[in-house]
Structure formats: structure tokens, C-alpha cells
Structure 1
Amino acid sequence: MIRTHTVIDSPVGPLTLVALDGLLTGVYMRKQRYLPPQEFFGHPDPEPFGEVTAQLGAYFAGTLKEFDLAMNLVGTPFQKEVWAALQQVPFGETLTYGGLAERLGRPPSAARAVGSANGHNPVSIIIPCHRLVGANGDLTGYGGGLPVKRYLLDFERGTLF
């Protein structure tokens, strides 16, 4: 297994892109809650990230609403199930943690488990964990911080000032 990384600038600050055997496995913000140790990132190499960088650039330019990237996600089967379901939450929309649990055929009590899996999403922005909100619609925790979550949601809704 070969891990490589590069750092790109974005409107939400620097993003560290990580690849495992040439496939995207992580997009980390500087203040990421569950930031892996530095050795996890492997050696610097921008080579595997051309398409990722292009799609993130198009997203932040407002011309891309759905990412189409090959990824090598590392997580539990439940986490992967949640991450796959997150990718079905449309650009500019939000869903509650309980709503996502329901989409997965789980009881409302699974909302906390969904929240935990969401919080451990290794590919922020591309797997849109920022689109999950609390039961009453309030913003709740976000690995990159609530101001970044608010920015991403406002950006997607076209309500940035």
C-alpha cells in the first residue's frame, strides 16, 4: 500500500488530499476533528490528484454539483454504508441524521451511530457530510468546524453574502 498526499488551497482553507495506491482516500481540513497522524499521509506527490483538484476547483467555482471520483475508502461496513448514502443527499439540500438512518432502513435510534460514521468521514466535501443537520434543522458538529459547515451550506444554497 502506497500513500501519497498533496495540499491544495480552497475557499475553506488548505485541503490535504491523500491517496492510497493512487485512489483518493482522504480530504482533510486543517482543523479536522479526526485528523490522522502525519505519517498516515505518506510522501508528497501531486501526481494522483489531478482529477480531484479539477473537480474540487469546479465545485468551488459553482459549476460542479456532483463529484465523480474513484475512491479507496477505509472504514467499517456501516461507515461505508453511511458514506455511500451521504453521496445521495443532493447539492444545496440537507437531511437530518435520523432521516439518513431511515434511508438506510435503520430505526431513529440509529441517528447517533449515523452521526458517528458521518464524523469519521475521511473524504470531506466530496462525501458531503456537511449536509447533515440536527433533528430541528440546527447545525451540529462538523469535523472542519461549524463556520466551515455554514460556509459550505450557504455556498451550495447560493446565499453567501
Structure 2
Amino acid sequence: MQKEKILSLLRLIEQNSGLSELDLSIMLDVETQAIHDAISALEKEGVICGYHTLIHWDKITDNDVTALVELRVTPQGGDGYEKLAEKIKEYPQVKTLYLMSGAYDFLVMVTGQNMKEIALFVSGKLASINEVQNTTTHFILTKYKELGFDLEAKKADERMVVIP
């Protein structure tokens, strides 16, 4: 499949991973078998890392809290960042981990049932790692947009206008 078509395929899957291979083949004007083969190859190469459903948990439960934690670290040795990342990403509370440029080294997204649970995790686990110099925790109050999706999108009023 052409690189252009593969990029279009990836964009479609990223936007809606629930599209069937038939839907994708129609949208891209490509044989269904070619879509199947391309997806299989992209999964095998690690380009497609998994399929994710974005859920607006705030509409379902009040028991989940998300925080962004900035970590400033002093890595040891040539692969110090990688060793630290391996250690940090093993915690189940860690949902996302990025190595950053700028004022801090890592950005860690963590979840917990409440602020206290996250605070105890940060102080007891993350801050206790020898290479961690300091942490700054930011609690997420409201999510407006996530992964390109507007979480607060208003549905169009579909009521019929009745004129007397």
C-alpha cells in the first residue's frame, strides 16, 4: 500500500478504532485484504501499539482523580533516563510518562481514587527514588479536550420548531 494511503489509514484508525476493515477499504478506496495486511504489518512493527477507547470518566464516577507530576531528576550514567523511566512506568498508578525538555525532566500522569492517594503515591514512591530531586504535582480539575476530542461538546438541539 502507498505511504499516503497508510498515513490516511492510521489517521482514520486513530480517530475511530472501531471502524471495520470493510469501512476503511471503502473510505480509502483500497481492497479489504490490503487493509488487513497493512494493519497486521503495522501492529507487528509496533507502529500501532494498541487500541484505546476514550471514556469521559467524570460523567460516570466521582472517584477518579488525575494529576500531572513534574519530576526533576539527576540521572546516573549514560542510560540513566531510560533506567528511571523503566522504574517509574512499572507503577500501576502511572498512566503516561514522558521525558521532557525544559524546567523538569519527566512528566508523569497518575490516577488515584482521591487527592490523598495521589499525594501519598508521589511522596512515598516517586519522591523516594534516589535520582529524583523534586516533584511538582498539578491536579486536573476539569477536562475540556482530550486526545483531540471535545469532552464538553454540546449536542445540537434536534427538537422541531413548531410555529403556531
TM-score of the aligned structures, taking structure 1 as reference length: 0.27
Q: Highest CA radius of gyration, 1 or 2?
A: 2
TM-score (normalizing by structure 2): 0.26
Q: Per residue, is there more strand in 1 or in 2?
A: 2
